[in-house]
Structure 1
Amino acid sequence: MSPNMVSADLVANLVAAGGEGGFETPGVADFWWPVVPFDGTGPWVLTRPALVLLISVGILGWFFVSVSRKMTVVPGKTQFMAEGAYNFVRNTIGRDIIGTKDFMQFVPLLFTLFTMILLNNLFGIIPFVQFPTMSRVGIPIVLTLIVYVVYHTVAIRRKHGVLPYFKSLIPPGLPGWLKPILFVLEFLTYFVIRPLTLALRLFGNMLAGHLMLLVFILGGEYLLLHGSNLFLNFSGVLAFGFSIGMTFFELLIEFLQAFIFTLLAALYISDAVSEHH
């Protein structure tokens, strides 16, 4: 049975258990949580995603600074972890994708993207936080904008100007009538489709995964405590068990999404530094 079918059955049971005015299924409203209002009536607040993001920056900064100050020939556990993450991004993503000639200048960006996205994704299953920051679409959009500013800046410099860069979007040797059509398609690909899909892929996976966990955890609690019969109580236990399995699956997704975002950023940068772009 697919997770969607299980989720639908669970919601139906919740409605039966609680009736009208009972259990309310989680929704996108659960992702908005003002923490500290800057004024009494204005829209500017320190939200939960912003707070978690700031905490992640502090944790990463403290971790890597403290590790770099105590480097040894034989690494300890923390140094081994830090070096493993760095070598993974440097070699597997940076060098293998961008190439040995140009990759080093982009490793700091790629390493920052990977570690920050991974930690903020992991916050979705860490107790007492349990909120994936990337489930707020504004944050993946900002990260995507950073990637694309770097990408287009590098491409323009490699082509020695904006006009040569736009000309490079059209392969040589095409018939004249086909060039405008291909230019529009390539322009949409590089300036609209790629950034849109890069941001929405990360956002959508984190939002859907977190909502799924909320449904099974909160729904299981409600069925277990407020179910009107033993069947509903037992369904609550099953929902809790399923939520544990989904948590491990979500852990895999969180790592993959950090890897995919960084990998695609490296692919786009590789395209920018390529002589054949």
Structure 2
Amino acid sequence: MIGQSTVLAAEFPPSVEDFYLPSILPWGAHDSYWFTKITLLVWVAVALIIIYFLVSYRKPQLVPTKKQWLAESLYGFVRNNISVEMIGPRGVAFAPYLTTLFCFILVMNFFSIVPLIQISPNSHIAFPAILAVISYVMFIYVGIRHHGSFFKYMKSALIPPAPWFILPLLIPIEFFSNFLVRPFSLAVRLFANMFAGHMLLLVFTLGGFAMISANVWFAPFSIVSWIMTIALTFLEFLVICLQAYVFTVLTASYVQGALADEH
């Protein structure tokens, strides 16, 4: 039986501690997480998105270049298939935010399968939580602005068309569903998928090295473990794209609900 061992400078089996990386500033500190690899990746994602779209549209052409075509395709996909599809004609106004949200989540998720990086900032609950709070505040603000006042918006959101005697039961359910479950589910869904994906890749990658280190006769099992790592990487790529899409679609759905004239 293989106990806990150190493989490739990492503990096997992996644990939650593998997500808490040493600090970059101050270098190597384990009691100060002011600036870590995770923080660096967030800023890299922001820089990549800004620079890419600026460069792509620096000299827009009637016949687009490959960079311009990809940028336009991303924006067009989110605008037509998410914003307008979910919200309607008014969704065009939200397309810039939703495109930024989609690209940001997609790039941060993609870090989890990039060699030598292999971790996504979204595998830390703080970052999905912040994104969920931003979307949460936005759809509440949109609802208040659309309905004219906070109380009119709350009336629209909380009071369904139902007999008066059942309203004391339905109103708390609507409040819990609309204002508590929504941001929680947005954050936890993204976090849980990226956390689980990173943990699975760690288990199969380090597990292969652990088995071959324990006994050379385990080499065939190590090879199978590494093959599973490759297969899971392709699966993780699908999850990366799906989770960025789901987060953006749900945000658009919540905005659509806030703009609805009736419950």
70-79 or 40-49, larger mean C-alpha shift: 40-49
Query: Which TM-score applies when normalising by structure 1?
Result: 0.88
Report what 2:214 is aligned to: 227
CA distance in 2, matches of 1:84, 1:106: 17
Q: SS state of the match for residue 57, structure 2?
A: helix
5 Å matches for 1:20-59? 21=5, 24-33=12-21, 34-37=23-26, 43-59=32-48
Report what 2:65 is aligned to: 76
- Evaluate the alpha carbon distance shift between residue 153 and residue 79 of structure 1 in structure 2; reply closer, same or farther with a 3 A threshold: same
Q: SS state of the match for residue 276, structure 1?
A: coil
5 Å matches for 1:164-203? 164-168=152-156, 169-175=158-164, 177-203=165-191
CA distance in 2, matches of 1:128, 1:62: 22
CA distance in 2, matches of 1:173, 1:22: 61
5 Å matches for 1:112-127? 112-127=100-115
The answer to whether the 8 A contact 1:32-1:48 is kept is: no
1:164 is displaced (CA, Å) by: 1.5
Q: Once the two structures are aligned, what percentage of the paired residues are identical?
A: 37
CA distance in 2, matches of 1:182, 1:140: 29
The answer to whether the 8 A contact 1:98-1:270 is kept is: yes
Query: Which TM-score applies when normalising by structure 2?
Result: 0.92
1:70 is displaced (CA, Å) by: 2.5
- Evaluate the alpha carbon distance shift between residue 234 and residue 227 of structure 1 in structure 2; reply closer, same or farther with a 3 A threshold: farther
The correspondence for 2:91, drawn from 103, 106, 111, is 103
Report what 1:138 is aligned to: 126
Is 2:240 the counterpart of 1:260? Answer: no
The correspondence for 1:244, drawn from 206, 210, 230, is 230
- Structure 1 segments of 4+ aligned residues over 6 angstroms from their partners: none
AA matched with 1:68: Y
CA distance in 1, matches of 2:160, 2:171: 9
Q: Deviations over 1:71-113 (max 9, x none)?
A: 211122211211111111010001111101x112211110111
Q: Deviations over 1:191-224 (max 9, x none)?
A: 1111111110000000000100011111112223
Q: SS state of the match for residue 60, structure 2?
A: coil
Report what 2:53 is aligned to: 64
- Evaluate the alpha carbon distance shift between residue 164 and residue 214 of structure 1 in structure 2; reply closer, same or farther with a 3 A threshold: same
- Evaluate the alpha carbon distance shift between residue 21 and residue 122 of structure 1 in structure 2; reply closer, same or farther with a 3 A threshold: closer
CA distance in 2, matches of 1:146, 1:181: 29
